[in-house]
Structure 1
Amino acid sequence: MTGATHADLLARAQHLVREKDAIEANIREFEAVLQSQKVGMDDPLVDREGFPRGDVDIYAVRHARTTIIRLRNDLKAKMSEIESALHAVHTQAQLEKNMAGTQPPARPTEDIPFAAINGVAPDSPANEAGLERGDKVVRFGHVDVTNHQGLKALSDLVAVSENKIIRVLVLRDNTPKTLFVTPHKWSGRGMLG
C-alpha cells in the first residue's frame, strides 16, 4: 500500500485476520457436515462391492469435501497475506519511529558496513540522494549489519517506503556521511537505481 501509515497497515492486517477467521468458521461448518454423516475426508463412499453407500448422503459429503479443500487453500493464501501485512506493519512502525527523530540505542557495530554501492544509475533516486559508487552502507533506515535478513530487509523497507524519506549512513573514503534517499518510480528499474 503506497503512502500507507502504520495505522492504515495495521487496519489492513486486522481486516485480513477477520477474513481468515471467517474462512476457518466456514471450514468448521463443512467439517460438521462430514461428522453428521460419520465420514471424514478420506473415508470411502462406496461399499465393498463398489456400490454407493446407502447410509451416507454422497452429494452432501462430496460437496463438503470439495468445499473444505478449496477453503483450506484459501486459508493458506490468506495466512501468507497476513504474514506480509504484519511484516509491513512492523517495518512501517520502525520507519515512523526513526523518522520521528528517535534513534535506536548505540551498538558496538554502528560503524560496520553491510553493503557496498557498486553503481548508481544517472537520474535515479539514489543519484538524487548523492549516493556514489564505492560508498559502503552502514545503515539504511533501520537496516544495519545486525539484520539477519541481509539485503532482503533493505528491499522490503524500500517496497513500503515509496515517496518517503529514508536516512542512509554511508562510509565514503572511511568518513561517515549521512544522506537522505526518497524511493520512487523513475525511468529505470526499481525505486532506487
Structure 2
Amino acid sequence: MDAHSKAKQLVQQRDELDEKIKELMLVLETNNSTMDSPLVDAEGFPLNTIDVYAVRHARHDLICLRNDHAELTEKIAIEMEKDHAEKPTYSDEKPVHRTSNEPFVKISSVVELSPADIGGFRKDDLIIQYGSLHHGNYDDMKQVAEITKNSENKIIRVTVIRDLRPVRLEIIPKKWSGPGLLGCNIIPVKGENV
C-alpha cells in the first residue's frame, strides 16, 4: 500500500475515534461532569446527581482514545511526509507565457535509461520551452544548466518540436548511474559554443 492510501486509511480510523470521543464527551455532559470534576461529596459519598459508574468508564475510555488519537495523528504525519516525498514536485509552478514557438536549444544525444530518456527526450528534439525558459528570455546555456541543477528531483515542464509538432514532456533531473542529472547533451540552436 502506498503512503497516500495508508494516510487516507489512518485518517478514516482517526475520524472513527473522533466519533467515539464525541459520544463519551456526551456521557460526561449529560452528567454535568468534566474529566476532573468530583464524583463524591465532601463526606466521600458518591454524588447522587450523576451516574458515577458511567462517568468513570467514560473518563477511562476517553483517556485511552485520546492517546490512540495522538498516536494516529503522528502516524498520519509520517505517511503524509512519505507521500509528499514520493511525489515529485514541479520546479516552476507559475504558468509560462512563451512569446514564440522558436527553438533555442536542441537535444544532440540521449543516453538510454537516463532521466532524459525516461522523461521522453529524443535525439534532435528542438526545445521551445524548458521550465520558465523560452526563446524570448534565453541568453545562454548557463540558464539551462541552472534550471536543471535547481530542479533536482522535481518536474521540469518541457515543450519540444518533434516531427514539426509540439510535444509536451515532464523531465525529472536526478542522480543516476551516469554523469550529470539528465543524461543527454543539450546544445544551442544557433551554433554558439557551449
Q: Output the TM-score relative to the length of structure 1.
A: 0.50
| Alignment partner, residue 75 of structure 1 | 69
Q: Greater Rg, structure 1 or structure 2?
A: 2
* SS across alignment from 2:119: coil
| Alignment partner, residue 61 of structure 1 | 55
Gaps of 5+ in 2: 92-114, 121-129, 133-143, 155-172, 183-194
Structure 2 residue 174 is the aligned partner of structure 1 residue 167: yes
Q: How many Å separate the matches in 2 of 1:44 and 1:54?
A: 12
Q: How many Å separate the matches in 1 of 2:70 and 2:29?
A: 23
CA deviation digits over 1:99-126, x for unaligned, max 9?
A: 66399767958659xxxxxxxxxxxxxx
Q: How many Å separate the matches in 2 of 1:64 and 1:107?
A: 63
| Alignment partner, residue 41 of structure 1 | 35
Q: Which amino acid aligns with 2:71?
A: A
Gaps of 5+ in 1: 113-137, 143-165, 170-175, 181-193
| Alignment partner, residue 180 of structure 2 | 178
Q: How many Å separate the matches in 2 of 1:90 and 1:104?
A: 21
The structure whose residues are more often helix, as a share, is: 1
Q: How many Å separate the matches in 1 of 2:179 and 2:148?
A: 13
- Which of these residues, 84, 94, 114, is aligned with residue 90 of structure 1? 84
| Shift, 1:177, TM fit | 3.6
Q: Which amino acid aligns with 2:119?
A: G
In angstroms, what is the RMSD of aligned CA positions?
A: 3.5
Identity, % of aligned positions: 31
Q: Matched residue pairs, number?
A: 117
The answer to whether the Cα contact below 8 Å between 2:149 and 2:181 also exists between their aligned partners in 1 is no
Change (3 A) 1:33 1:104: farther
Q: Which amino acid aligns with 2:24?
A: F
- Which of these residues, 6, 10, 14, is aligned with residue 8 of structure 2? 14
| Shift, 1:70, TM fit | 0.6
Q: How many Å separate the matches in 2 of 1:107 and 1:40?
A: 63
The answer to whether the Cα contact below 8 Å between 2:3 and 2:82 also exists between their aligned partners in 1 is yes
Q: Which amino acid aligns with 1:69?
A: I
